A and B are shown apart, each in its own frame.
Chain A
Amino acid sequence: MAMVNERFAQLIARRLSGEATPDELQELECLLKEHPQSHNFFEIFSEYWQLNGELESDAIQEDVHFQQIIAIAEKETPEPVEVTHQKLSKPARVVSLKNLLVAAAIIGVIVLSYVFIPRSQALDKNDVAQSEILTAKPGARIYMLLPDGSKVWLNSESRLEYKKKFNDSIREVTLEGEGFFEVVKHKQHPFIVHTSDIDIKVLGTAFNVKSYPKESCIETTLLRGLIEVTNKKDPSSTKVLLYPHDKLVFNKETGNPNRILPTRTQNVAMSKPFEKTTLSKNIADSALAETSWLFNKLVFDGQTLRQSAAKLERWYNVNIHFRDDKVGNMPIRYPLSNETIEEALNALQYIEPFNYRINGNEIDIWRKRS
Chain B
Amino acid sequence: MNFKSTNETLLLSLKEKIADGDQNSFRQLFHLYAKKLTQFAFAIVKSNDAAREIVDEVFIKIWRNKSSITTIQNLTIYLYTAIKNTSLNYLSARARENMVESFDFFSVQLSDNNSPEKTLITSEILKKINTAIDELPPRCKMVFKLVREDGLSYKEVGAILKISPKTVDAQMMIAVKQISEKVKTDFDYFPNRSIKKN
Contact = CB atoms under 8 A, between A and B. Distances in A.
Do A and B share a complex? yes
Contact of B177 (A6, A49, A59, A68): A6
Interface stretch (A39-47, A83-91, A130-138, A172-180): A39-47
Given A18-B4, A40-B190, A62-B34, 11 more contacts: A9-B180, A18-B153, A51-B119, A52-B148, A55-B35, A65-B56, A66-B27, A66-B31, A66-B34, A69-B63, A70-B23
Given A4-B181, A12-B176, A69 B56 contact: yes
Interface string B165-198: 0000100111111011101100100100110010
Interface residues of A, number: 42
A16 interface: yes
A332 B197 CA distance: 83
12 contacts: A4-B180, A9-B176, A12-B176, A13-B176, A17-B147, A43-B120, A44-B120, A44-B183, A62-B34, A62-B35, A65-B30, A65-B52
Contacts of B121: 44, 47-48, 51
Interface in A43-79: 43-45, 47-49, 51-52, 54-55, 57, 59, 62-63, 65-66, 68-70, 72-74
A19 B4 CA distance: 11
Contacts of A6: 173, 177
Contact of A9 (B27, B120, B173): B173
B177 A9 contact: yes
A18 B1 contact: yes
A128 interface: no
A236 B1 CA distance: 71
B190 A10 contact: no
A52 B111 contact: yes
B125 A44 contact: yes
A3 B181 contact: yes
B148 to A, nearest CB: 6
Given A12-B176, A37-B187, A66-B27, A17 B154 contact: yes
B60 interface: yes
Interface centre among A6, A18, A47 (most CB of B within 10 A): A18
A52 B146 CA distance: 11
Given A69-B56, A73-B64, A45 B113 contact: no
Given A3-B180, A13-B175, A73-B64, A40 B154 contact: no
Given A45-B179, A57-B34, A65-B34, A16 B190 contact: no
A5 to B, nearest CB: 8
Contacts of A69: 30, 56, 59-60, 63
A360 interface: no
Interface of B: 1, 4, 23, 26-27, 30-31, 34-36, 52, 56, 59-60, 63-64, 111, 113-114, 116, 119-121, 125-126, 129, 147-149, 153-154, 169, 172-177, 179-181, 183-184, 187, 190, 193-194, 197
A2 B36 CA distance: 34
Given A3-B180, A44-B183, A36 B197 contact: yes
Given A73-B64, A74-B63, A37 B149 contact: no
Given A10-B173, A13-B176, A49-B148, A55 B190 contact: no
A13 B193 CA distance: 22
A74 B61 CA distance: 10
A54 B116 CA distance: 11
A9 B153 CA distance: 17
A367 to B, nearest CB: 44
A10 to B, nearest CB: 4
A41 B183 contact: yes
B113 A39 contact: no
A4 B187 contact: no
A102 to B, nearest CB: 15
Interface string A197-213: 00000000000000000
B129 A13 contact: no
Contacts of A232: none
A159 interface: no
Interface string A16-45: 111100000000000000001111110111
